Structure 1
Amino acid sequence: MYSSTLLLRALPLLTILAPNTFAQSTTDPIGRAELALQAIQVWYNAGTGLWDTSGWWNSANAMTMIGNLAKADSNPDVKDLAVRIFANTLTQAPAQNPQPGIEAKEVTTKSIPLNETGGSGYYKSMGTNDEPFTTYPDGWLKPVDEDKVDINSLPINSKAGMIGAAAPDPNAWLDGFYDDDLWWALAWANAYDITGDRQYLDLASGIFKAVTKSWPSKCGNGGIYWSWEREYVNAIANELFFSTAAHLANRVPEGTAEGQKGYYVDWANRALDWFVNSGMINERGTINDGLTDDCKNNNRTTWSYNQGVILGGLVELNRASPNPSHLTLATRTAKAAIAELADENGILHDKCGPTCGPDASQFKGIFARGLQALQAAAPDELFDSTIKKNADSVWNNDREEATNRLSINWAGPVIPPANATTHSSAMEVLVADVAV
């Protein structure tokens, strides 16, 4: 993490935000979110471009969350910090990719040992209670002398892009798991929204176009697999594929065939049509984890993030290609998810909570992000109250008061220690509360 001196240089927020004693009583959504931003940056590692105590794909979500706060908060220091994080992560993080270039392999079976297929040891599987679990290679996160990295001195131009930076390589962000790839694509599309810098948009579209090569799966002549091994067809990878296409449809300028809005609208419509007909949406209106080997709903856990990613995608597709069915489906999904995931006080929980591992501890925040996007497009009292109840509960019941770090159990009590994943996830609902 930062040395204390570097932290002060990189975080102008530390000199302008209220002291911690005020944090204990503040009810202002912006004040709470800014204090939480101050807290999460203690974990930001300038040398790696990622957040310590967080995984590779989790850091993409942390970056998206900070970008969303920069959109909702008029404080110029918040935006300045966000754009410097984007520029630094763009430069530093590719070296930390746990499994670069694996998509080029033609292996389609796990029967061949990973070291023979070129796999690095980076792997995802379904653990206890069907909870996704990520295994990282030995020695992941290469050490960097971060005292030599000062994000406050990066050469940033008026659009907040890197002066003289080479065009980023989309392949540097691919790791063989298509959900990871697309989390980063969405993070870079969000960076483009804030900076207007085309390099971020080009990177997002380049990642997406690389993932299109995995279409179709074995199920219904459409969809994508979870990973390069082409075995499991699941909800999260396909929802992210749909959502990324929809986000890009609203951002790409007209130009080449790959740069035209219609290209991405077509992909979004194809992906959504396939998903709706895949069987992953159950009779309750929520979304199970994926499909069986014979392409039926596997009835695995309805994780909160599977209910949230589709909301943001539907909002974006409705903006790019208006159709009343998009927001109708989003509203139905959101209400079904709240009914299934919220306790009697309206506080959200995943099945594994409050003992979720480092993957599932990210999930609830992703649902809050999607719910906030839907509330902006199709306001509903239930969505508004759910966001506000959860934000209040996180701040009052799930915060380490001495540090303002946020833990995993949004209903409380705090389960220490908090980490960058639990904090960034919980902070999503604080950001949503600012936005609504």
Structure 2
Amino acid sequence: MHTTSFFQALLLSAALIPNTFAQSDIADPTTRSEFALSALQIWYNAATGLWDTTGWWNSANVMTMVANLAKIDADNAQLQDLASRIFANTLTQAPAQNPQPGVEDDAVARRSTSNETHSLFNSTGKESGYVKALSADFEPTSTMPKDWAKNAGAYVDVKSLPIFQAQQDVTTAAANPDEWLDGFYDDDLWWALGWIRAYDVTGNTEYLTLAEGIFKAVTKVWPTSCGNGGIWWSWKKEYANAIANELFLSTAAHLANRAQDKEYYIDWAEKELNWFLGTGMINERGTINDGLNDQCQNNNMTTWSYNQGVILGGLVELNKASPNNTYLPLATRIAKAAIMELSDTSGIIHDACGPTCGPDASQFKGIFARNLMQLHEAAPDDAFVETIQVNANSIWMNDRDEGDRISINWAGPFIAPANASTHSSGMDALVAAIVVK
């Protein structure tokens, strides 16, 4: 472990550790991850509870990555303290940054009195201008409401907040799940998974209860018009895609292993998996396309890395909650197909958008690495070890600037500017390398 002065740099979130300490010949995965965490915390804004330079749902993924590092490095008391304070602060501050609060309940209320006319799917009184659009190859791009970033106010260092002055354990007030809903069900479930992981680290049942509330809110949009199952991507009910449904599976399965009503969550996870397998979104190569077309068939659009990843964690957790001899073999087949399809000749993972990916897709590869790590813990495989190590080593050697910030191109060279999305995504691979070393 590093000295107290190292973690003071983490807690202060003010200045990077001098680069003389961050030499490329550092080989220990834990040490690499700790240096990268120091760089990441430059972007954490305690005033918002989010990481500057990235979006709302991305910050849920950043928090999940921090929680994974804290869970793996459980004996590091200073890291545990940092993580617990990040969770508590984010719980308090982030709801005010929700880009579109209230739109889901408004849409449900209008549909319940309107015979579900299409016009009302696309119009509520709570729309804010938060939009997710799909490019020609179905790369999602989020457009935040006007002045969303400006509403954050001035940057505030996390250690300046009252929660950092207290010496006692960090505590939180009751959280309202509705404050975390924004009309895009993948966003909602990213936050649910983030709070589940925060619960795993802290044992704080408030986080688990919040995750349950978010999940139960999303169950209200089951089913879609395809096969009488699945959930929509958004409150507009226009697209049934892989990511929202994989997240629904994964969240239900994670809750089945933690919440009291185990059978309730197992039932939801199994219903989702059965529906998903029947949609044809898993193609003949064994990878997963983006979603369904208007005829409820595989649209054969891009096999994004996060769609190959989230289902792995969902299958691992479902197998733990309700063992079935098909779940882990299915996850292994998907993972190996994805590695084959997404890797270059050196074994480095790339998405179809390459180094020009937008601020949403820049998060994707890390999500794959995170879930591949979870699958390896349940079903160890040399191919998973090699993929994680090759990518983590390339990130460390080829994809950092002088401040240890990580960019989008895991193969290198570094592409400026790095941001909290590209950096945390790369960190997912660094953290995964701790598990497989």
| Corresponding residue for residue 430 of structure 1 | 430
- Letter aligned with residue 178 of structure 1: Y
The alpha-carbon distance between structure 1 residues 150 and 131, as it changes in their structure 2 partners (threshold 3 A), is same
8 Å CA contact 2:13–2:42 kept in 1: the answer is: no
Call closer, same or farther: CA 1:148–1:110 in 2, change over 3 Å.
farther
> Does 1:223 find its partner at 2:222?
no
Task: Answer yes or no: is the 8 Å Cα contact 1:287–1:306 preserved in 2.
Answer: yes
Q: CA deviation at 1:100?
A: 0.4
Counterpart amino acid of 1:245?
A: A
Matched with 2:3 is: none
Structure 1 residues 194-233: aligned runs within 5 Å? 194-233=201-240
Distance 1:235 1:77, change over 3 A: same
SS in structure 1 of the partner of residue 142 of structure 2: strand
1 CA distance for matches of 2:92 and 2:241?
31
| Shift in Å, 1:261 | 0.5
Partner of 1:369: 370
Separation in 2, partners of 1:281, 1:211: 23
Following TM superposition, by how much is the alpha carbon of 1:129 offset from its aligned partner in structure 2, in angstroms? 2.7
Which residue of structure 2 aligns with residue 138 of structure 1? 146
Q: Deviations over 1:83-102 (max 9, x none)?
A: 11000000000000000010
Partner of 2:328: 327
Give me the whole-angstrom Cα distance separating, in 2, the residues matched to 1:285 and 1:149: 44
Give distance in 2, aligned partners of 1:46 and 1:166: 17
Question: Matched residue of 1:133: which SS?
Answer: strand
Report matched runs for 1:12-411 at 5 Å: 19-24=18-23, 25-73=25-73, 74-104=75-105, 105=107, 106=110, 117-141=125-149, 142-147=151-156, 150=159, 153-154=162-163, 160-162=169-171, 165-253=172-260, 260-400=261-401, 402-411=402-411
Structure 1, residues 29-83: CA drift from partner, whole Å, max 9, x if none?
Answer: 1110000000000000000000000100000000000000001123221111111
Q: Is the 8 A contact 1:84 1:152 kept in 2?
A: no
Contact 1:9 1:152 in 2 (8 A): no
Q: Which residue of 2 aligns with 1:419?
A: 419
Instruction: Give me the whole-angstrom Cα distance separating, in 2, the residues matched to 1:14 and 1:34.
Output: 15
CA shift digits 1:309-353 (9 cap, x unpaired): 000001101111111101010000000000000001100000001
Displacement of 1:18 after TM fit? 7.2
Q: 1:342-380 deviations in whole A, cap 9, x for unaligned?
A: 001100000001110000000000000010000000000
Moved more, 20-29 or 390-399: 20-29
CA distance in 1, matches of 2:168, 2:331: 34
Alpha carbons of 1:64 and 1:48: their partners in 2 closer, same or farther (altered >3 Å)? same
- Return closer, same or farther for 1:119/1:11 CA change in 2, 3 Å cut-off: same
* 1:403 to 1:272, Cα distance in 2 relative to 1, 3 A: same
Structure 2: 5+ residue stretches without partners? 1-6
In structure 2, how many angstroms separate the alpha carbons of the residues matched to 1:28 and 1:148?
A: 29
Which residue of structure 2 lines up, in the alignment, with residue 4 of structure 1?
Answer: none
**Alignment partner of 2:354: what SS?**
coil
| Aligned position for 1:256 | none
Which amino acid in the other structure matches residue 296 of structure 1?
Q
Q: Report if the CA contact (8 A) 1:159-1:197 is conserved.
A: no
Alignment RMSD: 2.3
The 3-state SS of whatever aligns with 1:78 is: helix
CA–CA separation in structure 2 for the residues paired with 1:130 and 1:160: 45
Take 1:330 and 1:103, find their aligned partners in 2: how far apart are those partners?
32
Distance 1:221 1:155 in 2: 49
Q: Distance in 2 between matches of 1:372 and 1:230?
A: 33
Q: How many residues were matched structurally?
A: 420
Moved more, 345-354 or 70-79: 70-79
C-alpha displacement at 1:435, in angstroms?
1.9
Change (3 A) 1:158 1:250: farther
| Preserved contact between residue 85 and residue 164 of structure 2 (Cα < 8 Å) | no
Report the Cα distance in structure 2 between the residues aligned to 1:321 and 1:113, rounded to whole angstroms: 36
Report the alpha carbon displacement of residue 249 of structure 1 after superposing the two structures with TM: 0.4
SS at match of 1:125: strand
State how far apart, in whole Å, the 1-side matches of 2:396 and 2:290 are. Answer: 30
- TM-superposed CA distance for 1:115, in Å, is 7.4
Note the C-alpha offset of 1:21: 1.7
- TM-score (norm: length of structure 2): 0.91
Q: For the Cα contact (< 8 Å) 2:17–2:38, is it kept in 1? A: no
Aligned match of 1:257: none
